[in-house]
Structures are given as structure tokens and as C-alpha cells.
Amino acid sequence: MSKALEKLQNCMRCIREKTDFQPEVALILGSGLGDYAESIDIRAEVSYREIEGFPVSTVPGHKGRFVFGYVNQVPVVIMQGRVHYYEGYSMEEVVLPTRLMGMMGAKKLLLTNAAGGMNFEFTPGDFMLITDHISSMVPNPLIGTNLDELGPRFPDMSEVYSRRMGRVIRKEAEKLGIPLKEGVYIQLTGPSYETPAEIRMFRSLGADAVGMSTACEAIAARHMGMEICGISCITNLAAGMSARELNHAEVQETADRVAKQFKELVTAVVTGI
């Protein structure tokens, strides 16, 4: 058996010693959005520290644990706090938690993140339905020996973000009166923010929002055959689009400001997908 699969199975054993909860929907919460997990009907939690060989995040504001419970009647697992490539982990390590949620039985994945807006129609505080992504600026998380037990060597990526789930998200946002933008998310490594010239380049390539996560997790989940959807919280405009300098405090401030609406939307989406 490959080392990577052995590591995954070892992590699964650690989790199964704590809980046998069977999630249907997996949720990954982005910057400033993490306290959603505290609002659900929690049945179990496993701290990343309790899982042997698990990558633990170093970013302030990112908690590190799986939370298991119910959103209305839907059994979910929430990844509260993710790890990022810029922290120095390999892409394989970055997607390990995502893979574990798939192995726990979750067939559906809702990805969220804080992102910079590159589209001139966007305003900080907007939500954006992710319709597609550009991941080719970062290493592919599937590089290395293929884990045949999880999925094929050359997985199709022509519909990473489920059109069916996209329709549910549009409908639920409309019912809640929450305006919803749509667009393409581009993942970069960070940790520095982009220059204005880079932002012009990525905009011309067709990207609407920029961030440091999500696309790699979507690829790993799609590889396993999970059905995926994603929502970005546009916390700020990207470099060169406003007179302001970029900083993480602004990202968290905006995320906090719209957290209530975001939670309402996530609850409706989890229940509806």
C-alpha cells in the first residue's frame, strides 16, 4: 500500500476511535467564517491535534478541528480551520483533511473562503457563487502516485462545481434576499497579496476572485467523486483596485461584518443540497 493511503487510513482510525458519526455533507469554513460550527447541533468534535500525522494550521483566526453534528436534519462534518500551502505544507498535506471527510462518507462538499474581488462589479461584503476555478498557478494536489482507491489517475474536471448545486445556491440566496454574484476563483500560493500588474493579468485570464485555498481542495474532492459547490465572501478588492492597502485585518473585518448573512446562506444551502 502507498504511504499516502496508509497515512489517510491511520488518520481515519484516530477519528473513528472518537466518533462513528456518518456525515452526508462536508463543509470547509474560510477566514473569519469559522464560528459557524458553534451554531450547529454539535454531536462530536475531533481536534486536529488528536489525529496522528495531521497538518495543524498556524494562522490566527483559524481553529483546527472537525465538528460533527446536524444542520436541521442534515448530518454534517465541518472542517473548522484549514491548512494552506503558504504555511509550508505539501499540497498532499493540504488536501488530507478534505480527503478524510470524503472517506468518512460525505458525498457532498460545500467550500467557503474569503477572497479578493477582481471583477469591477464586485463590492466588499458580496458573496460569489464559484462557477469554476483556475488552479494552474499552484501545484496540483494529485501529483504523485495515484491513490487508485480514491479515484482515477486522470480525473475529469469539466464540472468541478456542480451546476445542480449552483441552482440550489442561487434559489436559496434569492429566498433569503441575499444578493449573489457569480464567477471564477483563482488560487494562488500567497502568502503575499498580488501586485496590481498580477491582478490585471489574472483578470484578463478570466478570474473574478482571488484567494489562497479552495481549488486544490475541490480537485482532491472531485477526484474522489464528491459533488462540490463553493461560495466566496469578497472581503476586499484586489490590489490596484482601490486606494487602500491590503491586510488580513480588513479581510477578517469584512468577513465578520457579513457573518450573520453568510451563516443563514450556508444553513439554507446545506439543507437544500
Q: Pick the catalytic residue: 26, 36, 84, 113?
A: 84
Closest separation between CB of residue 189 and ligand 6GU, Å? 8
Closest separation between CB of residue 118 and ligand 6GU, Å? 8
**110 in Cβ contact with 231 (< 8 Å):** yes
Asked about 87 being catalytic, the answer comes back as yes
For ligand 6GU, the closer of residues 15 and 29 by Cβ is 29
Asked about 31 being catalytic, the answer comes back as yes
Asked about 236 being catalytic, the answer comes back as yes
Closest separation between CB of residue 95 and ligand 6GU, Å? 18
Asked about 213 being catalytic, the answer comes back as yes
Closest separation between CB of residue 61 and ligand 6GU, Å? 12
For ligand 6GU, the closer of residues 114 and 130 by Cβ is 114
For ligand 6GU, the closer of residues 110 and 234 by Cβ is 234
149-158 residues labelled b (16+ CB within 10 A) or e (exposed): ebbeeebeee
Asked about 157 being catalytic, the answer comes back as no
The DSSP H or E segment spanning 12 is helix 3-18
Asked about 86 being catalytic, the answer comes back as yes
Angstrom CA distances, 175 to 158, 180, 194, 264, stand at 29, 11, 36, 11
Whole-number Å distance between alpha carbons of 223 and 153: 9
Asked about 204 being catalytic, the answer comes back as no
Closest residue by beta carbon to ligand 6GU? 116
Determine the residue type at 118: M
Asked about 158 being catalytic, the answer comes back as no
Closest separation between CB of residue 141 and ligand 6GU, Å? 18
Residue that has been written with the C-alpha cell 497579496 in this structure: 193
For ligand 6GU, the closer of residues 61 and 116 by Cβ is 116
Q: Pick the catalytic residue: 26, 207, 209, 212?
A: 212
For ligand 6GU, the closer of residues 109 and 114 by Cβ is 114
Asked about 223 being catalytic, the answer comes back as no
Q: Pick the catalytic residue: 79, 114, 224, 268?
A: 114
Question: Per the structure block, which three cell numbers stand in for 25?
Answer: 455533507
Residues forming the site for ligand 6GU (CB under 6 A): 114-116, 188, 190, 193-194, 210-212, 235-236, 238, 246, 251
What dihedral do alpha carbons 263, 264, 270, 273 form, nearest 10°? -140
Interior angle at CA 257, CA 127 and CA 57, nearest 5: 80
Closest separation between CB of residue 236 and ligand 6GU, Å? 5
In degrees and rounded to multiples of 5, residue 162 shows phi and psi of -55, 125
Q: Pick the catalytic residue: 135, 162, 232, 236?
A: 236
- Full DSSP string of 159-227: TSB-HHHHHHHHHHHHHHT--EEEEEEEE---SSPPPHHHHHHHHHTT-SEEESSSHHHHHHHHHTT-E
For ligand 6GU, the closer of residues 155 and 190 by Cβ is 190
Asked about 84 being catalytic, the answer comes back as yes
Whole-number Å distance between alpha carbons of 110 and 211: 16
Active site residues: 31, 62, 84, 86-87, 114, 212-213, 236, 248
